[in-house]
Structure 1
């Protein structure tokens, strides 16, 4: 299904296509990107891909290691008029060890080598591919006809370097259809001979069909959103792109070594910081990249990886949020008891704001205290001057410090502490370096964001994102505002997330690109639970227990194959092309700053992006009415 709103349509072909029979075939990721996959193709998988591309009708789409809601089959093939196939490929040398299946029930695949026996059931390709087939039928193509629709899906296994009969003999306990059974064509098992001869009719018997009574284009569209490569994965393979101003700031240092950069959301502040960190690490310098937001350092780490000329330089960089770093310093210098005593004597706010930074500052003279050639701080408006000055004590002589900030994103009320006198005492001289142009936001969203800042945020320190001069509006965006009551917020958020899923697949955007930003943990948990009831998995940060929530934040990663769900606080600094934001009824100064942060997380894409706001705040109705697609519940 391709869902349209207003005058904007997100129609395009998924990236990665190759010529076949004079017609273009969809391959995702594209052939040009295969050498840069995080999990490179094995030799056998490359052979299989060559046969698929050479022998299949061009209408068959090929998805390589697709992000299938957390599942990762080797290949999924799809023809909107014929059917679907999922394949597991195993490069196993069956002579490398003794493979066998136990006699007990259920049977278990095991291996024996050097006198040791171990389970291989988790790698069993027969059970895995059948599980994938079942998931596609029940969850990801729910409109396939019951029972008859199961015949639209092939579950195949290929052993590129083993004899077919030997494979069938080994896995006989797991094969439900005899080789002569008519249903065996839906569960093909093949090996070296068929692959070497390119016998596609044996490798994938259903590929010879020209049509099917149970498969239609709309069913294929249901599945595509789970198959196309997410924006994050594709972006991660590309080097960082910077304008001349950003590049100068990333490559040069000031005479004093101290630099501060300000700019609106999406202007490239984190980009400059990551590029600078990579350059110093490439030179063998020790670098501390410090954040306040626990999840943000994952994003910075991914940027740095793209900028490193030598992957070994990664070992020179420490990514950490400030308070975790404080605890680690106490452990390093043997002050674990003093650290524990802080929490016994004071409240959490006092400890985190002042007592812990003061304790760590006094540890800077200890022999075991860490030292860095460079200390780089992102989202500096969230830092207190005391924290910054504590970090300064751990800088090596002649080292450098970088602070990047945007007072418009002052969600903790700390930006006001950075007065001119405070800045002078923090080592800074001269004016801020300025970044003005927003490269993140789609052009259509910029006027709305600027209007929000002008209407609702303090004038002092506000950074208005600007469009680059001469820039063309080549990044369409669907901008939707849904006004509803608080009692309808959960249901509306789930509906809008499912609605957005209907727009993926036919574009080069995936369901894994969708991010939901909740106004609070309770709302987030309710939305995630409702999605789970619909068999939609998500990676979320809403655990009730604070320790468990911290663990969730540490594991939050845009490369995860599931839908993302977190709070606006935890998504500061990040970006995504598909975004649903919930705004509750609160309208305080910090709540308004949070809304600005949420609105500016939208990332432009040439193929389009989508932002939906679900708002229960009646004070924002007039602003919502200015949006291209306004809906009142």
Structure 2
């Protein structure tokens, strides 16, 4: 029987965080000496924690290891004991002393063991279940006796000295001599009465590499039409592309940015949503011409952040600040500033910029163009160099801000586009076929026909992508409770596949509802990276830190997830449904990503208007 390794060995040279020399030595030891029933997980996503290795044997138990490549002779290390508190680990490099407590391996394995027992394997039998969990420390380049001497106070404080078989500490000798029994004494067991297949299933959902991590190692796959847009430009330099959700618009834009960077061009990528920038950056780095420089080499900004930068660069900070005086207290005034007054100020700053203090670019690329007003686009044109390139991609079906109707034929002509049609993408490669049908049905029933661009699947495609579609109708009183249950049950329900917990994404249009669900998850010990906050500055800060590579459950608004994709989604829909709310729901439905081992979409709805639509789903419940 072959051993299960996640990520697989052939992908080791493409890990986002490459294995250190010591970690590779430890992996080789485990892989060469452990029984094949032991599964090996490298840097798994554990609810925000990232241990170096987790080993699991469904018949025996679980082991978590922290590996330190430290040379104890290169720096002086010592431990300072503190009465009633955890000892602190310090180091000195010969010039200054500093704390390395945040890297203390004893504290790390103590936390890993506690959380594995309490959260990841809830069916383990009380304190006795601790015997199934080994928490070890490995120093591949340090003498074992020296490591023990250094860490003894820390191990003593955490009660680990009395149970060395469950808390092994090993050094260079064990690794050099290939003695896995010293590194992992419990590996000699063949059975444990405390471990079972069910407990192993509980754990695998936390250990398996998430889909988003695996995707980051794969080059972008494009069809012939998509690739032609990435590798060419029009004679005028202006190109507009439209297409339904999942047709590859963002892939084209991200790849085009990387392609132009590889040609030595200066590129500006602009979005309306802050969070979308992270997705585009992840796309761009997967294009072969990127050479790994896209995050630094391309300028990635949301439109209003770019506006602020222009004002500051052109020495118009005072005028920028004057726009906001009193506006933030009155929503209508704030909208007026964002939509009209700020772009007008930026235009005048650029027009009067004789010294070219404002950065100009060889190419300006705009994603989710239906969220932009034509006047914003025309301001961006001012920083595109003569003979440069302007790219606009859009999907009017996802008109969640009511701006798509601004793009009339007359507006297009005034935006620099010559006569003629949009370049159109028609094939949706993102959605699994059953979810594609649901999205089409929703758009046909609830969205204005003049803006609808229905997605179509690849012609003649076989349905090789399983998809679990679930609709739960409930009341506002139970909404948070039901959302929590659906999130927590999504992975266990995926009985025919292993669904990584960090792949699960929760979406809602309400900041308040989102925060309530995140708090409910926290009460169960499940951490989430989210964008919810009543404070606008804090919400913006959270959006800047929101990305799919985070090791936690994802939670954000439907607005902020537009343009993204996920294999597993729970969407909450409130009681009220209006034009833009329906467009938001459609955007949420189309975020689902196909996967060979299954995709999962659950809608928790309080909207009475959508009950009949929900009844058409594979699974419908009223709770």
Normalising by structure 1, what TM-score? Answer: 0.94
State the partner residue of 1:210.
190
Among residues 362, 373, 389, which one is paired with 2:348 in the alignment? Answer: 362
Query: Residue 177 of structure 1: CA displacement?
Result: 9.8
Structure 1 pair 131–355 and aligned structure 2 pair: CA distance change class (3 A): same
**1:3-42 correspondence to structure 2 within 5 Å:** 23-42=1-20
1:77 correspondence with 2:55: yes
Contact kept? 1:225, 1:505, Cα under 8 Å: no
Work out the CA distance in 2 between the residues paired with 1:145 and 1:31: 34
RMSD over aligned Cα atoms: 1.6
Question: After alignment, is 105-114 or 43-52 more displaced?
Answer: 105-114
Work out the CA distance in 1 between the residues paired with 2:162 and 2:543: 50
Query: Residue 182 of structure 1: CA displacement?
Result: 6.7
Work out the CA distance in 2 between the residues paired with 1:152 and 1:314: 43
Work out the CA distance in 1 between the residues paired with 2:493 and 2:46: 16
Among residues 475, 480, 504, which one is paired with 1:485 in the alignment? Answer: 475
1:618 correspondence with 2:608: yes
Among residues 177, 188, 192, which one is paired with 1:197 in the alignment? Answer: 177
Work out the CA distance in 2 between the residues paired with 1:392 and 1:202: 66
1:240 correspondence with 2:230: no
**1:319-330 correspondence to structure 2 within 5 Å:** 319-330=300-311
Query: Residue 495 of structure 1: CA displacement?
Result: 0.8
Contact kept? 1:222, 1:505, Cα under 8 Å: no
Contact kept? 2:285, 2:293, Cα under 8 Å: no
**1:348-387 correspondence to structure 2 within 5 Å:** 348-365=334-351, 366=353, 367=355, 368-387=357-376
Stretches of structure 1 that go unaligned for 5 or more consecutive residues are: 1-22
Work out the CA distance in 1 between the residues paired with 2:390 and 2:382: 11
**1:198-347 correspondence to structure 2 within 5 Å:** 198-307=178-287, 308-312=289-293, 314-344=295-325, 347=333
**1:355-504 correspondence to structure 2 within 5 Å:** 355-365=341-351, 366=353, 367=355, 368-429=357-418, 430-503=420-493
Work out the CA distance in 1 between the residues paired with 2:50 and 2:193: 28
Work out the CA distance in 2 between the residues paired with 1:277 and 1:349: 30
Work out the CA distance in 1 between the residues paired with 2:127 and 2:57: 20
List structure 1 segments (4+ residues) > 6 angstroms apart after TM superposition: 177-182
Give the secondary-structure state (helix, strand or coil) at the position aligned to 1:421. Answer: helix
Among residues 39, 58, 67, which one is paired with 1:89 in the alignment? Answer: 67
Query: Residue 100 of structure 1: CA displacement?
Result: 1.6
Work out the CA distance in 2 between the residues paired with 1:611 and 1:107: 46
Normalising by structure 2, what TM-score? Answer: 0.96
Give the secondary-structure state (helix, strand or coil) at the position aligned to 2:307. Answer: helix
Work out the CA distance in 2 between the residues paired with 1:63 and 1:503: 22
Query: Residue 324 of structure 1: CA displacement?
Result: 0.7
Work out the CA distance in 1 between the residues paired with 2:429 and 2:13: 28
Give the secondary-structure state (helix, strand or coil) at the position aligned to 1:445. Answer: helix
Contact kept? 2:285, 2:294, Cα under 8 Å: no
State the partner residue of 1:170.
150
Work out the CA distance in 1 between the residues paired with 2:515 and 2:415: 41
Work out the CA distance in 2 between the residues paired with 1:445 and 1:28: 28
Structure 1 pair 352–538 and aligned structure 2 pair: CA distance change class (3 A): same
Work out the CA distance in 2 between the residues paired with 1:345 and 1:544: 19
Aligned length: 611
CA displacement 1:470-500 (0-9 Å, x = unmatched): 2111110000111112222111111110110
Among residues 548, 573, 596, which one is paired with 2:538 in the alignment? Answer: 548
Query: Residue 503 of structure 1: CA displacement?
Result: 4.0
Work out the CA distance in 2 between the residues paired with 1:313 and 1:567: 27
Contact kept? 1:578, 1:611, Cα under 8 Å: yes
Query: Residue 345 of structure 1: CA displacement?
Result: 6.6
State the partner residue of 1:115.
95
Structure 1 pair 116–186 and aligned structure 2 pair: CA distance change class (3 A): same
1:49 correspondence with 2:27: yes
Query: Residue 501 of structure 1: CA displacement?
Result: 2.8
State the partner residue of 1:154.
134
CA displacement 1:104-155 (0-9 Å, x = unmatched): 4343221122231111221111221111111111121122111101111001
Give the structure, 1 or 2, with the largest relative contact order (CA under 8 Å, sep 6 or more): 1
CA displacement 1:530-582 (0-9 Å, x = unmatched): 11111111011111111101111111111001001111001000000000001
Work out the CA distance in 2 between the residues paired with 1:260 and 1:334: 33
